[in-house]
Structure 1
């Protein structure tokens, strides 16, 4: 049965419609909102369609070809709000190993061998799974009972077992919804305390973790309302620079690596009329952070200093920005929705990369020694346990950007 809900979109980027015709027809059988895209201009338009969760299916003769147009388009619209989306690489059999490795590190959300198309129905399951991750729940994807066709083709014992598992899954979903009520109660109590000029103690990490887990389009409006309320309360209660000692909050990597051959000015495109000794008016920072609350608080903090901050909300946006802009400092969240900060950092550590020698400070919600050690081993100059404070940022500037102070 074809779904007709209008709050999502499937975009198939095709380079050869004849090759991908079977794929496109199969998708249209199950999804109402499916479009074929043939140019980068169209792709940019789809990326900037607000409030429309989208699954992009990128075709090509190899993994690089299938994803290059996506990255080019993502970079072209970096100054615009990009829709929440997932990306699937449709590749030939010869590129399966490359796609597998890219999927393992979350550089792509999924892949399918589409030339030739061995599993004609699997693309439907891939799209449904990614739509659920985007918070889109279609009627055909939310069957609470086994279909008659499946029940007739398996034993009664097996059908009963699957039914019990479905019931358990539904109970888990109900528990997520109940957590919404817990959050709202907590925020309302905090709001009352603020109005009465009483101290408020909000568990930021617990709040963020709970909000991240709740992904359902039925409760999305309530989720956004709670996020907005949480941000408002945190801005009132967090005093930047009031907590901790900067020396305790940041650790710097001890490295014996030689001085990079390419210095910062050499890697940057400079106008011949510019004086390279002129002090930069603002420190250019790339903040790679997907959590809405952390984004708002960190950007607010940085805006109070002499900085020009750009935001990347995913690993892919970060890769696009890092390949086209030279930054003075990179603040990189370790956990990202599509990959991890350590992988993104590793992509900049090749000599000749535009941001090869840009200091990278990792942001983490908890000081786990194994992750911290891996980050420092891969080139991070330090790490900070969130949330950031003004004192911590100033210590980072003094230590890693003394020439810009």
Structure 2
């Protein structure tokens, strides 16, 4: 690997002699690293805007966590840089470090006292640098393959072909990314000029599917922001008909698609109107019922789009990103309808639906509708078996909301 021409590697150690081998390995592969030994220096590094990988060396995992998170706590009211943290630990702490990594407490760990895998530090740093959008220049695959005298010609050929295919796929993804970004820019410009905007929704959906969390490349984060902004401009004008299905019977088709658009009361109300004109002074002002909805959804993109869509309606909306949060809300407030995603970070929607329907809580009779991104028959049937009233294919559209409320005779008004 060629030496990387940026300064994004920070090593915190209070014993440089003990970590001398690690320091020498890092210096051989990166143009420069920052070696620091005080908490004040660590705080300053995290305050700087430059993205970086921070390695914290100490005698125990607990000590590395204390060093790092005390610095984070000191900066609780200050913007911090995008970074990843790696705990450098002794061998007997590996199991604890692995659990910390799995839980997200640290981004990675390295057994460094003593170092068993000399180049593992380079692999970890390179991987994490790529995660935060920074890349070094790799050596050519051919340079590695050609010097391996014990490799057969067959092995060399198949490796070179496979690596080239991976490169082609990555270049194709980068090209699609640039193309989608350009199409979003064109669409926004057309909308600003009151022209029709055209989007390749299939390609956009494919690209956005790579965005799963906050740990994504800056290029994807930028694309996500642009896509959400554009969709916010047009989402209230989308007229595609989404699907709301009753619990399907064994002999019935999985989906029931309606080509008609259900009606909605388009009367706009003034909710804080404290007066009437003299002509109607004795006529009571009608106060419309505002339905209460809970959406349990951990996909930020899907949730944001749904929130944008529901702004057009007079709905009292609560959202939950986890099952635990949902159960807390459901124990305190009666809802008219619940939209439930299946895949949640701490549980699954099947369990929640079953728990709600079997409980004697205030939402035991509230209709729960499953949110699904595909037409998986077994998932739909499983949801129905535990008490779901039906399902809606994501993403949601205006018509799907209107039909959902009409199905359960819930009042719905435009704002």
Length-normalised TM-score, structure 1: 0.55
What is residue 151 of structure 2 aligned with on the other side?
Answer: 154
Per mean C-alpha deviation after superposition, the further-off stretch among 151-160 and 188-197 is: 188-197
Aligned to 1:17, what secondary structure does the other structure show?
coil
Question: Rg: which structure is higher?
Answer: 2
Deviation at 1:95, TM superposition (A): 0.5
Q: Do the aligned partners of 1:86 and 1:130 also contact (CA within 8 Å) in 2?
A: yes
Q: Do the aligned partners of 2:177 and 2:207 also contact (CA within 8 Å) in 1?
A: no
2-structure distance, mates of 1:92, 1:173: 37
Length, aligned pairs only: 308
> Residues 206 and 155 of structure 1: is their aligned pair in 2 closer, same or farther, counting only changes over 3 Å?
closer
> Residues 211 and 150 of structure 1: is their aligned pair in 2 closer, same or farther, counting only changes over 3 Å?
farther
What is residue 145 of structure 1 aligned with on the other side?
Answer: 142
Structure 1 residue ranges, 4+ long, deviating more than 4 angstroms after superposition: 197-207, 210-213, 223-228, 288-291, 293-301, 364-370, 385-389
What is residue 312 of structure 2 aligned with on the other side?
Answer: none
Query: Deviation digits for residues 162-218 of structure 1, max 9, x if unmatched?
Result: 2122111111111112212441354245335523365878677545325679x999x
Query: Deviation digits for residues 58-91 of structure 1, max 9, x if unmatched?
Result: 2122222222222222233233332222222211
Q: Do the aligned partners of 1:9 and 1:54 also contact (CA within 8 Å) in 2?
A: yes
What is residue 32 of structure 1 aligned with on the other side?
Answer: 31
Root mean square deviation, CA, Å: 5.7
> Residues 33 and 10 of structure 1: is their aligned pair in 2 closer, same or farther, counting only changes over 3 Å?
same
Query: Deviation digits for residues 262-289 of structure 1, max 9, x if unmatched?
Result: xxxxxxxxxxxxxxxxxxxxxxxxxx99
- 1:70 pairs with 2:64: no
Length-normalised TM-score, structure 2: 0.54
What is residue 187 of structure 2 aligned with on the other side?
Answer: 190
2-structure distance, mates of 1:212, 1:112: 26
Deviation at 1:93, TM superposition (A): 0.9
Q: How do residues 12-91 of structure 1 correspond to structure 2 at under 5 angstroms?
A: 12-50=11-49, 52-91=50-89
> Residues 120 and 182 of structure 1: is their aligned pair in 2 closer, same or farther, counting only changes over 3 Å?
same
Aligned to 2:148, what secondary structure does the other structure show?
helix
Q: Do the aligned partners of 2:184 and 2:226 also contact (CA within 8 Å) in 1?
A: yes
Query: Deviation digits for residues 132-168 of structure 1, max 9, x if unmatched?
Result: 22222212x2534242675234333322222122111
Aligned to 2:34, what secondary structure does the other structure show?
strand
Q: Do the aligned partners of 2:64 and 2:88 also contact (CA within 8 Å) in 1?
A: yes
> Residues 88 and 175 of structure 1: is their aligned pair in 2 closer, same or farther, counting only changes over 3 Å?
same
What is residue 108 of structure 1 aligned with on the other side?
Answer: 106
Deviation at 1:366, TM superposition (A): 5.0
Q: How do residues 230-245 of structure 1 correspond to structure 2 at under 5 angstroms?
A: 230-239=227-236
Unaligned runs of 5+ residues in structure 2 are 246-296, 310-340, 348-370, 383-393, 402-415
Aligned to 2:105, what secondary structure does the other structure show?
coil
Aligned to 2:133, what secondary structure does the other structure show?
coil
- 1:179 pairs with 2:176: yes
What is residue 11 of structure 1 aligned with on the other side?
Answer: 10
> Residues 235 and 138 of structure 1: is their aligned pair in 2 closer, same or farther, counting only changes over 3 Å?
same
1-structure distance, mates of 2:37, 2:303: 34
Query: Deviation digits for residues 338-381 of structure 1, max 9, x if unmatched?
Result: xx9539xxxxxxxxxxxxxxxxxxxx9959999xx9xxxxxxxx
1-structure distance, mates of 2:177, 2:67: 39
1-structure distance, mates of 2:53, 2:342: 24
2-structure distance, mates of 1:178, 1:23: 38
Q: Do the aligned partners of 1:334 and 1:342 also contact (CA within 8 Å) in 2?
A: no
Q: Do the aligned partners of 1:191 and 1:233 also contact (CA within 8 Å) in 2?
A: yes
Aligned to 2:164, what secondary structure does the other structure show?
helix
1-structure distance, mates of 2:15, 2:396: 48
